[in-house]
């Protein structure tokens, strides 16, 4: 049976992708950072096991820190063996703040969580992935394709994610590792659910397809990437036409 690691899989897009991994037959390792996410992650684990009959475990780790990433990968290897078939780098945070007002530790946290964590995880997982037809998928954003006001640090990180994936795709194609990124547009997550209906309608009106996307659409993009053997180095952007590549 195939094995997968997903970071940031307790809610929203990450939860939908974790469930998709289970549906596709992967044993799943999900990380969570804070104690407040523990129960949410355990609920996802239970749902994966009950629905799809695969194994799944939760590991607490702050993926912005190399040693925590190492603990996460070691836990996966201990649980499921020395073959990692899919790595889904999804963990991310945002400040949503005017750049002048941002303290350096806050924008460093965004860079470390949204970009450096993915470098750590790729570095640690690749030895268990090479020469076996495996896949790395990283969550970028339309913010990595275009600028967003009050998101300078976030956009910088997500642009970096796309560059990382393209470079690794070229480097590891000869060793049978495909590397791609998903750049979601506006997706209905907890953050958007807190916006009032008038603001939601205004947001939807800016999207050519006329509606905000659902997390399952990002999980569908993940499924396509994982099952497309000729796809590497690409950015798949489900965004309703909001950004055209």
Per-domain residue ranges of the chain: 3-188+214-236
pLDDT (tens digit per residue) in 29-79 = 999 999 989 999 999 999 999 999 999 999 999 999 999 999 999 999 999
Residue 206 confidence (pLDDT): 92
3-state SS class at 211: coil
The yes/no answer on whether domain 3-188+214-236 falls in CATH 3.40.50.720 is: yes
Contact criterion met (CB below 8 Å) for 15 and 44: yes
Please indicate whether residue 230 is annotated as part of the active site. Answer: no
Rounded to 5°, the CA angle 228-133-128 comes to 135
Cβ pair 143, 129 in contact under 8 A: no
Catalytic residue among 26, 154, 224, 230: 154
Look at the block and give the residue holding tokens 């690691």.
5
The Cα 125–Cα 100 span in angstroms is 37
Q: What integer pLDDT is reported at residue 3 of this predicted model?
A: 98
Give every CB contact of residue 103 below 8 A, 6+ residues apart in sequence.
Answer: none
Q: Determine phi and psi for 170, rounding to 5 degrees.
A: -70, -40
Predicted pLDDT at 174:
98
pLDDT of 203: 84
Per-residue pLDDT, 198: 82
Instruction: Report pLDDT for 102.
Output: 96
| Residue at token pair 């945070």 | 93
Looking at the whole model, is its pTM more than 0.85?
yes
Residues in the chain predicted with pLDDT less than 70, given as ranges, are 191
Region class of 25: left (phi > 0), else alpha (psi between -120 and 50), else beta? left
Q: What is the pLDDT of residue 200?
A: 83
pLDDT, residue 199, reads 80
Distances (CA, A) of 46 to 22, 50, 56, 154: 11, 6, 8, 32
Q: Rounded distance, CA 75 to CA 72, Å? A: 5
State the residue for tokens 């600028």.
147
User: Quick one: pLDDT at residue 245?
Assistant: 80
């Amino acid at each position: 049976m195939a094995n997968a690691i997903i970071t940031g899989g307790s809610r929203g897009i990450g939860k939908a992708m974790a469930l998709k991994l289970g549906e596709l037959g992967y044993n799943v390792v999900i990380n969570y950072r804070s104690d407040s996410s523990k129960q949410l992650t355990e609920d996802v684990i239970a749902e994966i096991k009950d629905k799809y009959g695969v194994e799944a475990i939760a590991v607490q780790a702050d993926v912005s820190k190399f040693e925590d990433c190492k603990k996460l990968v070691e836990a996966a290897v201990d649980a499921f063996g020395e073959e990692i078939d899919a790595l889904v780098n999804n963990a991310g945070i945002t400040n949503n703040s005017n750049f002048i007002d941002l303290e350096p530790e806050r924008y460093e946290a965004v860079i470390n969580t949204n970009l450096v964590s993915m470098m750590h995880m790729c570095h640690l997982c690749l030895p268990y992935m090479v020469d076996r037809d495996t896949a790395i998928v990283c969550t970028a954003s339309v913010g990595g394709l275009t600028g967003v006001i009050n998101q300078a640090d976030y956009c910088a990180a997500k642009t970096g994610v796309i560059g990382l994936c393209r470079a690794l795709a070229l480097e590891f194609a000869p060793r049978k590792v495909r590397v791609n990124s998903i750049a979601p547009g506006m997706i209905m997550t907890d953050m958007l659910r807190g916006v009032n209906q008038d603001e939601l309608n205004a947001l939807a009106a800016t999207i050519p397809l006329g509606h905000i996307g659902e997390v399952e659409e990002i999980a569908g993009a993940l499924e396509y990437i994982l099952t497309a053997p000729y796809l590497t180095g690409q950015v798949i952007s489900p965004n309703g036409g909001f950004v055209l590549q």
